[in-house]
Amino acid sequence: MARNKFPEVTIEKIMEVSQRLFLEKGYDSTTIQDIVEELGGLTRGAVYHHFRSKEEIMDAIGDKMFFENNPFTIVKQRKDLNGLQKMREVIKINRVDVKRSQLNKHTLPMLKNPRILARMIETDRRLIAPLWFELIKEGQHDGSIKAKFPKELSELLPLLINLWLAPSVYPGSVEEMMDKLTCIGTMLEAMGLPLIDDEIKEIAVHSFKEMELDD
């Protein structure tokens, strides 16, 4: 068999088709065979040459979407914002990223697939927490954040936002989810990080309502 001279093109095509199917059919309902049938000539062997599993394809799509529109990189260039404002802006950018929120909403059955859950926690610890830590330290330096435990807060934030507020992990009504968000805001403010403002609450309630309608 001839060696593929452009593997990056094949990888991109697999990810593009997979993302579309995950959104259309849902992650659980999409099989590797479904992906192969939509690839127009590529074989199952070609898919497995680049990705060992459907979960690995999902991992790659998630990474690509994050780094293409990394909110931390975007806010880092904002000289008009202090550290606390940059943290709030990260949340706002992430919540209004429609493609990513749709993918998360429709394709992340975390409790049904422990590998996805473990991968999210590991990514939060390895990649996301250090980015939060950098912004918390910036806020401490400019006086907008009074927190005494920046490292601990940087690790706690992803757990609260990405897991406790994930309806697929902790199901709840819109009112219950908003109560959790208010609880998070109260805890963080008591720890010197008044992160949750009215605009974030407004974005959150719209997001929770959309998820409830899709269930």
Task: Examine residue 140 and state whether it is found in any structural domain, yes or no.
Answer: yes
Kindly state whether residues 108 and 208 are assigned to the same domain. yes
pLDDT tens digits, residue range 146-201? 999 999 999 999 999 888 988 778 888 999 999 999 999 999 999 999 999 999 99
Kindly state whether residues 208 and 136 are assigned to the same domain. yes
Residue 210: is its pLDDT beyond 80? no
Distance CA 84, CA 143 (A): 9
pLDDT tens digits, residue range 14-47? 999 998 888 788 787 889 999 999 998 788 998 9
Q: 121: domain range?
A: 69-214
CATH number at residue 206: 1.10.357
Kindly state whether residues 99 and 43 are assigned to the same domain. no
How many domains, the chain? 2
pLDDT tens digits, residue range 81-136? 999 999 999 998 877 555 555 555 554 555 666 777 787 788 889 889 999 999 99
Question: What global pTM score does this model have?
Answer: 0.77
Distance CA 145, CA 147 (A): 6
Task: Examine residue 145 and state whether it is found in any structural domain, yes or no.
Answer: yes
CATH number at residue 43: 1.10.10.60
Kindly state whether residues 49 and 77 are assigned to the same domain. no
Task: Examine residue 77 and state whether it is found in any structural domain, yes or no.
Answer: yes
Task: Examine residue 146 and state whether it is found in any structural domain, yes or no.
Answer: yes
Residue with the larger pLDDT of the pair 20 and 80:
80
Task: Examine residue 60 and state whether it is found in any structural domain, yes or no.
Answer: no
Task: Examine residue 191 and state whether it is found in any structural domain, yes or no.
Answer: yes
Residue 65: is its pLDDT beyond 70? yes
Q: What is the DSSP letter of 124?
A: I
Phi (first) and psi of residue 200, to 5 degrees: -65, -40
